[in-house]
Structure 1
């Protein structure tokens, strides 16, 4: 059955949900790929599954539309956004403008305990590359990688850029990046994480910025290569 025709994912209802709760619940379901690209999200069904009225659902969908998670089609409704090659390029372009800069700032401000945590996470990701790739190892990698980069961008002490970057990296496209990686890609990425930690330990802003830029460019190449392979074969 095509993804667009799959039954709506049921989100476990909880009592007394606020508008923010409803927004986060739907966003989490989207980030976890519970809905297929192009699938329509019906307010009535979402409200029923969440145990709320349609008003907070409608507001949540408006917010998600503004953030690029869904798209509203007049006379049809709201559907899950299908990511394109242009979307991928725009996200990586934005990351290249923001993330290396924040890494450079972090090198000057990051606390010693944060560096110690980064070292633990980098070692964990390196260890994952030495084991067979499974869905569980991919999830562990994704979680460790997310925490790793969140620590660095938070340490840069620029809350607005940090929020903008986190919003971009919460998209399903970023999760797709890790599913794209070959064993060689993961090992290269893990080594780059270790080098980023070295740069931060040395308080070397230029080094931290440069290796972060290389890290993002390598991820971009893996994603664009996969996209082109899949679409040239179809």
Structure 2
């Protein structure tokens, strides 16, 4: 999911989680409401409904949420099945899209969970105030921050399928937060990881440390 830190930074985009369900309920699109056919969720009628009425409703709902809250909100559907963080309120359309009474609270919970994750990351980014450090301390701070963030993302996504995509994204966001241009940040992160993170495999401490050292050194060389 291609999102920049400016697009998701909680400081730029106010949000009241206590009113999320009420707001989302008012955004519900007109037309077919999500009432799944009776029977198995893998039956032929069910799959046809999911690809037609259910899919249209969900697509319209997603567009309305993004229009109301901003682009940061698209992450409410980004689950670990797709390499994203564990958004606990939503699994997928097959299992989470049922009746309006059940589906709207699930969407609100997922949006709040995604927002909480972004707020958690913002707080962690600020634990490493790179902008205020003297030059001789910056490389060590980049390194410590990278180890901390990789470890935190792995714990959140449980090293699921393609978990490294979001890990790279979080590191890119962190670099961007502290002044590295987004395109350059993405390149530096990709080069530091070098394809060494894999699906379903939690990286060991030595690998994480090596990635952190590589990234810290190249960031500081880039500043010269």
Shared fold (TM-score greater than 0.5)?
Answer: no
Q: Which has the higher strand share?
A: 1
With CA pairs under 8 Å and 6+ residues apart, which has the higher RCO, 1 or 2?
1
- TM-score norm. by structure 2 comes to 0.30
Q: Tell me the TM-score normalised to structure 1 length.
A: 0.29
